[in-house]
Amino acid sequence: MKNGRWIPIAGLALIVAIVALYLFLRPQDRPDRTPPAGARACAASADCADGEECCEGACADRGSCAPDASAGLPQKPPLGDKRQEPSLLEATGDRLPAPPRKRPDAGLAEGACQKDLDCGPTLARCDEESQRCVEPDICLTDLDCTKGRLCQYGKCVDKVEGCRLEDCMPQGLCNIRYGQCEKIACKTNEDCAGPRVCHVESTICVECLTDTDCEGGATCMPGRFCMPKGGCGGDGNCEEGALCDTRTWTCDKSKCIDDPREDDDKWSSAKDLETGDHEFMSCPADNDFFKLEISQGEGFVVQTDFRPGGGMIELRLHDQDGLEIKRAGDSKLTGDVALVWPRAEKDSIYYLGVLHEFGVKVPYRLSFAVWPGGFCENDRYEPNDDSDEATTLTHSVRWTMKLCEGDDDWFLQSVKAGESLDLFIATLEGEIPRVEVFRDEEPEPILVDDSSRDEKVLLYKSDRAADYYIRFSPMFAHAESMYDIKIEVKR
């Protein structure tokens, strides 16, 4: 009888649970997923007509699709939680309209400007008095210089001294010692810089193949370099107090005289670095540290060159607690390094380390410049601001790009009839860009994604052979974006 008294109570609890579940799931409280009468069914926006998007399985006017109940929930970005959800710009809803395929001409003469943005997404700035774009104190690419001038060793010049990596690629590299381009895969001695010769079996340029390739009675060593009489292969071959100079393979007994700013071998003993150009000396086992005081919103560039070689130095940036936050090395092997910090989030003290990698004595120039309003560090595929300059990317590879204020990024992909153009896009930092796909010279896009999703996927089955132009553009004023794009073409 005791157990029997609980049977009615348990039954009543079950009935209450069923009623509560029905009230929670009743149809009028659920979003209606049924396409409206007469609406065109779809699986993606590509199935809809121009000016429409796929909304809950049916084509509807673009922008009229009500967000899903979960749309307001913060979603974790799949490639690292670097964005803040929701962003301030997204919250304001003050979006820029989609620009026409051909942006109107600003009506300014070449080099003229009214604001910094007229000088393009570069480090150049608009001089208010002359209303002309002026070159920065430190340049990173040719785009930072006025038309016809080139960027080398952080300075805009009329003519390149020797060679640059960008002048030699993709077939070769710049040999800084001889100031000439040298092919990556040589076939003859003419493909090598200076007196260097081609080792045909390995297709690599070397100093020598036999003793006859060396001057002054030097010997061609197994490592394919010329060793002078009494020369050294390393510091261990030199007497105490001398070092082996790898430029000449001779022992250097002269003492490396450091610059007068010593002792600055640690970040804790760093001395202030003023803007401008400075000359320093880097000695073995000696690092130089400098203190940089930067205000909120400011950006800065530090550039160093150590021509004509004979050593290597590296730049490292530390925060106010001495923690390393960025590094830059001579990846181009041309004797110059640039470290870029586009914008400080708050008033900060940074410590710049110049690290001696190798070399007996490495004299170097250190240039330091500050941009009061910061700047946007663009990607290396500029200029690709309109369809005429669209960049062709290797498909099935993920590429990281940067979109600056007032800047469009255009990419080109040719597709055959029956092939599918698949775009996979992920925003890594900053604001989410608008993505549009144009076919051939058609003025209106065939695909548009101006949603606020971190990840975008655009798929299109091509019914004919065509060139497809993919445009990324900012959806908000003063917005910057860093994003990944992968293009796939499938049968």
Mean pLDDT of 184-208: 94
Same CATH fold, 387-490 and 267-371?
yes
Please state, rounded to an integer, the average pLDDT across all residues of the chain. Answer: 82
Q: Give the pLDDT confidence score for residue 36 in this predicted structure.
A: 54
Q: Decide if 238 contacts 249 (C-beta within 8 A).
A: no
Mean pLDDT of 191-211: 94
Whether the per-residue pLDDT at 19 is higher than 50: the answer is: no
Whether the per-residue pLDDT at 279 is higher than 80: the answer is: yes
Whether the per-residue pLDDT at 126 is higher than 80: the answer is: yes
* Of 326, 329, 318, 325, the residue nearest 269 (C-alpha): 318
What band does 71 get if pLDDT is binned at 50, 70 and 90? very low
Domain segments of the chain: what residues?
30-65, 116-157, 165-229, 267-371, 387-490
Q: Give the pLDDT confidence score for residue 285 in this predicted structure.
A: 77
Report how far Cα 434 is from the mean position of its chain's Cα atoms. 19
Cis-peptide, bond into residue 265, ω within 30° of zero: no
**Fold designation for 387-490:** Jelly Rolls (2.60.120)
Q: Give the pLDDT confidence score for residue 45 in this predicted structure.
A: 59
Which of 79-88, 269-278, 356-365, 471-480 is the least confident region? 79-88
Over residues 286-322, the pLDDT tens digits come to 889 999 999 999 999 999 988 655 678 899 999 999 9
Over residues 21-52, the pLDDT tens digits come to 444 444 443 334 445 555 666 655 556 666 66
Whether the per-residue pLDDT at 67 is higher than 50: the answer is: no
Mean pLDDT of 401-415: 94
Mean pLDDT of 4-19: 49
Mean pLDDT of 458-477: 95
Distance CA 447, CA 445 (A): 5
Q: Give the pLDDT confidence score for residue 308 in this predicted structure.
A: 58
* Of 88, 109, 117, the residue nearest 407 (C-alpha): 117
Q: Decide if 206 contacts 224 (C-beta within 8 A).
A: yes
Q: In the CATH scheme, what architecture does the domain 267-371 have?
A: Sandwich (2.60)
